[in-house]
Every structure is written in C-alpha cells, then in structure tokens.
Structure 1
Amino acid sequence: MADSTFLSESIIKTWKTGNRITCYLIEHIPDEVWTELVPGYDKKTVQMIAGHLHNARCMWLKNTGNKAGVTVPEHVDRYSVSKKEVLKALKVSSAEIIKVLEYYLPLEKNVSGFGLDVVHFLSYLISHEAHHRGQIIMVCRQLGHKLPEDVTYGVWKWSKRAKEAE
C-alpha cells in the first residue's frame, strides 16, 4: 500500500508542476499574438484563453473551497488582462487550489461541489489547462508565430518544470 504522506505530497507537487507549465507557456507567448483573434472565432483571443484559465480556477474555488476555507480570488477581465496580470492571478489561484487539495486529501471522500475524489479533481484541473495550452500553441502557429521548440517541448518537460515549481 502506498504511503499516504508520499501520495499527498505527490498530488500537491503535481498541481504545482501543472501550474508551472501553464505559466511557462504564458510567459513565452509573443506579445503580438496576445490580442489577435483566434482563427475561426469572432471575438476570442489568446488573452481571453489565458484569462479563462484563472477565472475557471476561481469558479472551482467558489464551488469547492467553502469547507477548505479558501479565499476566492477576483476574476480577471479577459478582454483587457495583461500577461503579467494573468501570471500574478494564476499564482494566487494556484495557492488557493492547493488549499482545496490539502483539505480533501486526508478525508478520503468526494470533493464537495465536484462530486468525485481529490485525484479526479486534480486530474480534471490539469486536463482542462492542458487542453487550453494546446489551443494556445496551435493559435500561435495559425497566426504565423510558431513558438520555439524549447517552448513547445518545454510544456512536456515535467521534471524540469517540477524543479522550477519548488
């Protein structure tokens, strides 16, 4: 049987790594792409996708964080938020997500407001962000701003990003 302390620490470290990967990508989005329209959409921009990542975390914090005593951060304005503001907001929302994870880890019950256990919740959050990271990488290519390979491969370098997240 796995050591529950090790497992709990691994879950928190996994979230921190996933957050670092999201931030790493946003740090490397070319400024000229930030507010360009996503091909196929009338109003959506990379800026809006990045803002959505934080705002979705806020929604989940509102739904799941009551018992964990979290502070739900303010949403960002997806239409005007800067990269610097998104990165700052992601740092805040990540810290609050950790509080939810830490609260539910020892309880061995479903996350209230989510309906499944903490590992499913973590997996959902990371999958959601991975989906949007892929969108951002594709949009950059579609707009003629293919990201350097060290960035596109960098989102897959979990060991390196994990060290950066410590």
Structure 2
Amino acid sequence: MIRNLEDFVMDWQHESDSTLKILEAMTDESLQQRVNEDGRTLGKIAWHLVTSIDEMIGRTGLQFSATPHETPQPSTVKEMSDAYRKSRDSIVMPMKEQWTDESLLVEKDMYGEQWTIATVLQTLIQHQIHHRGQMTILMRQAGLTVPGMYGPSKDEWLAYGEEAPE
C-alpha cells in the first residue's frame, strides 16, 4: 500500500530492479519466444513494460521524460534494457519535486475511471510484477536462466549446489 511518496520509491526501487534483472537475462534470440502462435512474444511483453511507464505515469500529469508509449520495439535486449533503465529512473526525482504526499490522493482519469495517484503508482508496480511472471515462463521455454526476485530462483538454488525447494 502506498501511503506516501517514500513508500512508492522504496517499492519501485526493488520492483524495477527485479524487472531490470529479468530484461538483462534475456537474449536477442529469446525475444521471439511465445507460448503459442497467437501469444505475445517475450520481446513484445518486455517492450510493453518499458513503454507502460510513460503511458501510465503520463496520465497523472507528472512532467518527466521516459520512452514514449508509441516508440517502436527495438530489436535487441540491450536497447530494451537501456530504455527501461532510463524510463524507470526518470520518474522518481520529478515526483519528489512536483508532488507531496497529499498529491497521492488526487484523482486522475485512468482508462475511463477515477483513480488516485496512489492507485496509479500501486498499479504500475503490480503491472510490472504481473508481466514479469509471464516473462519468466517464456524465458524458461527459451532455455534461459531465470534470476530470482524474492529470493533465489530454481536456477540459483542449483548453482549454489542446493536442491531447489518444492
């Protein structure tokens, strides 16, 4: 729950670091991985996370500079990771400069509904978590090592010489 700007900054730091770890563990070849022929590719989901920062936070009125939502998907993991890093870093300082804790109670139009800015920020974090889960499945299908986010992943347990917990 986001009660003040510092709550968001702390959660955002951890969650965006986790997203960056996932992005950096992908390969250019894995960007085409999909669950089935109708599913989105790993690259498309990854790029969606990059551009959704601009799309979601932009609706709050915050003045910041992130990768625009309409930007075409690049063809390399490095370009995606670099764009994500810049976008995720671009919002914290402007928030601290332009908002107060009370700003979190201001309502904004989000997809035809009225959400508080705190709800937008919480949803941004949950949106990252949701899509990271999808991405880790596609990464496993592509034969990639999945980094841990809330503790060691199966791959990391095995690298430690331990049995992965059930």
Q: TM-score, normalised by structure 2?
A: 0.71
Secondary structure at the residue paired with 1:128?
helix
Higher RCO structure (Cα 8 Å, ≥6 apart):
1
Residue 32 in structure 1 maps to residue 46 in structure 2: no
Q: Give the aligned residue type for 1:86.
A: M
Residue equivalent to 1:10: 7
Q: How many residue pairs align between the two structures?
A: 144
Q: How far apart are the structure 2 equivalents of 1:109 and 1:43?
A: 37
Q: Any conservation in 2 of the 1:54–1:89 contact (CA below 8 Å)?
A: yes
1:108 Cα shift? 4.6
Residue equivalent to 2:63: 69
Say which structure is richer in strand: 2
Q: How far apart are the structure 1 equivalents of 2:15 and 2:107?
A: 20
The structure 1 residue matched to 2:80, chosen from 83, 86, 93, is: 86
Q: How far apart are the structure 1 equivalents of 2:117 and 2:80?
A: 25
Q: Any conservation in 2 of the 1:46–1:136 contact (CA below 8 Å)?
A: yes
Secondary structure at the residue paired with 1:113?
strand
1:22 Cα shift? 0.3
Unpaired segments ≥5 residues, structure 1: 158-166
Say which structure is richer in helix: 1
Q: RMSD of the TM alignment (CA)?
A: 2.7
The correspondence of residues 1-166 of structure 1 with structure 2, limited to 5 A, is 7-36=4-33, 38-42=34-38, 44-65=40-61, 68-75=62-69, 76-78=71-73, 80-99=74-93, 101-102=95-96, 103=99, 105-114=101-110, 115-143=114-142, 145-148=143-146, 151=147, 154-157=148-151
Runs of 4+ aligned residues of structure 1 deviating over 6 Å after TM superposition are none
Unpaired segments ≥5 residues, structure 2: 152-166
Question: In structure 2, do the counterparts of structure 1 residues 69 and 146 end up closer, same or farther at CA, with 3 Å as the change threshold?
Answer: closer
Q: TM-score, normalised by structure 1?
A: 0.71
Question: In structure 2, do the counterparts of structure 1 residues 35 and 119 end up closer, same or farther at CA, with 3 Å as the change threshold?
Answer: same
